Amino acid sequence: MTSLVTSTTMAPPPTATNLPTTSVPTPTTLAATTTTSTAPPGPLPPAEVAPFTGGDDLAGALAIAETALADPATPPQDFPNWAWLQQQAYRDLVVHPDWQDAAREQVPPELRKAFDLNLLAGTQLRRLTSPQPALPSWRIGAPPPLDELRGYYTDAETEFGVPWNVLAAIHLVETRFGRILGDSHAGARGPMQFLPSTWDAYGQGDIEDPGDAIAAAARYLLAHGAPGDLEGALWAYNHSDLYVTAVIAHAEAMDLYDHYLAVYHQWRVYYRTVDGDVLLEEGYGS
């Protein structure tokens, strides 16, 4: 399997958002925004978020976002926007190491392990990829509903013994839970990114079907040492120590924090180009 994040072919269609040139509201307005009397007290998330331009703004915004995401009282309609802000903050922290200590200090102590794991995963994945000269020939769609995916992960764990959170972490890293619809540069296909030859050996059903693909991933990992040797099985899945570390970090975050599968389910698709990071919105490539 090869991760789609390294694929590149076609020129950019107009639906891509090139982040360095956006004029969307910045996180500096976050702390001053409050809810109406009909919502729980606390700030509202911004409708959109641009890359952060300073460590102080990022630290305060990330602390608020992590707190809101962990709070069951956060209105469901606000949850995606908090997750988008959080995702952007971690992406910016990866490229601004001098901001990291101050940001970690402001995150609530009980959530700092999540901070460490997200930063570790993001750092490894950025090292794994390189900026590309053109945007990919993908389509970006909505992922399957979270409850549906939970069922696939737990069914696969029950049948094959591979931890559900490891399968979810692979799904997150490979295609953002199925948001990315397209083949990798190496020809890997489907939500869990199987080469057709590997699918012939381990797959049953439809390579593009999330349930079939998740079961095939569990079957493949089991054949390569999981659950006893998860690192070895993941390395067989993608021959990169960076990949293995990132998947395990995301899996650990989901194991430690009940809300983190829902958080990751909201994360969007970014693509690195020589002109800067590009956000590929749902509908891109249609």
CATH topology of domain 4-9+139-265: Lysozyme (1.10.530)
- Give Rg (Cα) of the chain: 19
Among 80, 85, 73, which residue's Cα sits nearest to residue 31?
Answer: 85
What local confidence, expressed as pLDDT, does residue 80 receive? 97
What local confidence, expressed as pLDDT, does residue 21 receive? 33
Q: Which residue has the tokens 């079961």?
A: 215
- 3 state SS of 256: helix
What local confidence, expressed as pLDDT, does residue 32 receive? 33
Size of the chain in residues: 286
What local confidence, expressed as pLDDT, does residue 35 receive? 39
Strands of the chain (E only): list them.
16-18, 139-140, 180-181, 269-273, 276-280
The tens digit of pLDDT for each residue in 156-198 reads 999 999 999 999 999 999 999 999 999 887 889 999 999 999 9
Residues in the chain predicted with pLDDT less than 70, given as ranges, are 1-42
Contacts of 100 (CB under 8 A, 6+ apart): 93, 119
Q: Model's pTM, two decimal places? A: 0.87
What local confidence, expressed as pLDDT, does residue 43 receive? 83
What local confidence, expressed as pLDDT, does residue 184 receive? 84
What local confidence, expressed as pLDDT, does residue 41 receive? 56
Provide φ and ψ at 228, rounded to 5°.
-65, -40
**Rounded Cα–Cα distance for residues 232 and 225 (Å):** 7
* % of the chain exceeding 90 in pLDDT: 81
**Rounded Cα–Cα distance for residues 51 and 28 (Å):** 11
What local confidence, expressed as pLDDT, does residue 1 receive? 59
For 279, the token pair is 């956000």
The tens digit of pLDDT for each residue in 237-251 reads 999 999 999 999 999
Query: Amino acid letter at 99?
Result: W
**Rounded Cα–Cα distance for residues 236 and 58 (Å):** 37
Domain with CATH 1.10.530.10 in the chain: 4-9+139-265
For 273, the token pair is 């180009």
For 85, the token pair is 């802000």
> Are the CB atoms for 167 and 153 separated by under 8 Å?
yes
Contacts of 75 (CB under 8 A, 6+ apart): 39, 40
For 116, the token pair is 């460490």
For 5, the token pair is 């994040």
